[in-house]
Structure 1
Amino acid sequence: MSASNTAGIAILGAGIFAQEAHLPALQTLGPLAPKLRAVYSRSEKTAREFAAQATTLLNATPDVYYDGNPSFNLDTLLARPDISSVIVILPITQQPSIILKALAAGKHVLSEKPVAPDVASGAKLITQYEAEYKPKGLVWRVAENFEAEPGFIAAGRAIAAGKIGKVTFFSSRNVNFMDKDSKWYKTPWRTVPDYQGGFLLDGGVHSAAALRVILPSSMTHLSGFASLNKEWLAPHDTINTIIKNADGSHGIYELSFAAPSPSRANAGGGLVFTGADGWLQVQQTRARDLIHNVEKPILRVTIKSATRDANGVLGPEKEEVIDEPIRGVELEQASFFAAIDGKDDGLGSPLGALKDVAVIQAALTSGGELIDLEKLISQS
């Protein structure tokens, strides 16, 4: 795909992630991405500032759309025939209606995670898409960048290849320090969330997606507890759960934004998978890019495989280390554009993203009771 043989794209939303992740990803993709023809934000000021940033990064000047002026509002943008697809990066509760509006206007849609604020609304959205818009050839994908990260994909492939034997148990531990000075907290729709879980939903679907990509068997049951430890992170800021998978393996899934200080964040955290013949760990770290001589974030996959002789006696451990740069947003965009061209690699499935929301919703509502994740989705 190149900008010369496809209609353009528009970005709906001009917040932090649009600025710091999606625009740079489009810049990296270059001619592999359609031309950015328009941007939209609720406020004219924000839209114009975002357009200026896009002009600098992409060497193209997108048109500006915003609320309050019928000549430059979202409906006018969606009516443009030279825009075939949109990336939706708006507050969680606004996204479902905007996704449907864009699909109704005949646009392909890449919408930021989570797929919806809760399982019921997500299931309804998927049903409507599959009944009304998928038959028309319209593509809708969910931008879950953890699903596209090469590091997590490499970990899943290593386990599928039997490098640690059958998975017996696992742990996913992610503790974050969030204070009121954080740029993420200062976003108004996050400060007073009108959706379940607050940061736990917004950020938690990432770690749920990582498990979905890496585990060789689907997560089927969950039991746990949720709590609020910092009142300004309402409604909840911490979940601790156990999860069972279809193959009988099980593990711990913990997530919190209530660390008392930065030093507690991710102490003892990360992803660890234990198998019958070894174990595998995934951690985020930094490595030097020798070409540009800068430190860049990477995902490091460490695989420890047990060896045994003909008599079954344990021998030296084999170690394999895989370092992958963090580039999930770039790859999820590329996957979306390829799907529009009929080359679907399966990334960004709305149903997969719905499973991530189900994990968080179950963790928030379990109260110690066992929740059937598959039933939660099927009955919604």
Structure 2
Amino acid sequence: MLCQKCKKANGEIKLPYLSLKLCKACFCKLIEKRVKKEIRSKKLINEKEKILLLDNNSKESRISEHIIRAAYNNRIDLLKVKVNALKIGPLSEKTKEIIKKNRIKQVIIPWNLDDEIIYFTENLFKRGDFKFLGHFTQDEIFYIKLLRNVLESECLLFAKCKKFKFKKRIKKDKHRREIKNMLDKINKKHSETKFSLLKSIDNLIKIIKKNTKYSIPFQDNILRIEAPAHKTERHLKFCIDFLLPKGTPIVAARSGTVITCQDRYKRSYKSPKFAGRRNFVVIRHTNGESSVYVHLKHRSIKVKNGQKVRRGQVIALSGQVGFATYPHLHFGVYRGVYLKGGVSVKITFDKKLGPEIPLYVAEALGKYL
């Protein structure tokens, strides 16, 4: 049977979900076109910035490199770093050094459609978080799953058509293998299953992104304060200080579970050596992040450890306790657990923040609050 696209070469490759039989050349063009459309429609790549490919010697890394070079006619500055195993999340020290040295802002992950739906299903069963679904940003670096709309079987066919040399990925995780086998069986009977799942995942990502934004943790959006210490101390990098009158109700910025409370100090201090003498609440959220509310008024905390709280629920009153030269709320979001190696992360709010004022202005105004 001839290829149903070009009508010239033999149709060797069958695509059940499209009811098509294609020759090798038309099949490769179809995959390239699909990936390029994803790049254009979602504006995945900034040509002016360097891009790093995580090369685990797989068919996905070979295809990703081929398509990027073909799409941009070698105009893009593509760097590669060898990785032994691909695991979404923390990067190796070697990779971090390359990213820092070359000021990398975008990284390509060799990740196909099957990887995406297995990751989703696995986290669904484990009741995990979905922060690495789709293309995502972590520590100001944009991670691109170039082949997330290409089936693993299609990646294999593409690599063979192009005669790429690659190392076969062995899925050692038994749970992941079981999930893949289950999905493959369903997809064999209903050829559009995996693409339908990906569409559902994309719809879920929109909902997740909306729900992972933080509300401002009080009713009125009051002044932010320039805090020099936040710029120099890594664990405070993205934290924000809000100038607030004492006794202002503080609300949970997102729903979650209270994991730590401290409500035993009364005084304010001018020396940083008393920084530990502050009252605070820490709330853990479903995506693994925790929000922190510090310098709260003595005996004003209205929640306790283990308590579930909803977004907008009053948790305490603002104060000036601990190392605080003016009444304010210190608010931060951490990946991991605050005070236990948590890393300060950039906060995405659901509305625009108020203006920022210098520290000396805050200290002057603080006398009247």
Q: TM-score, normalised by structure 2?
A: 0.26
Which is helix-richer, 1 or 2?
1
Which is strand-richer, 1 or 2?
1
Q: Whose Rg is larger?
A: 2
Higher RCO (Cα < 8 Å, 6 or more apart) = 1
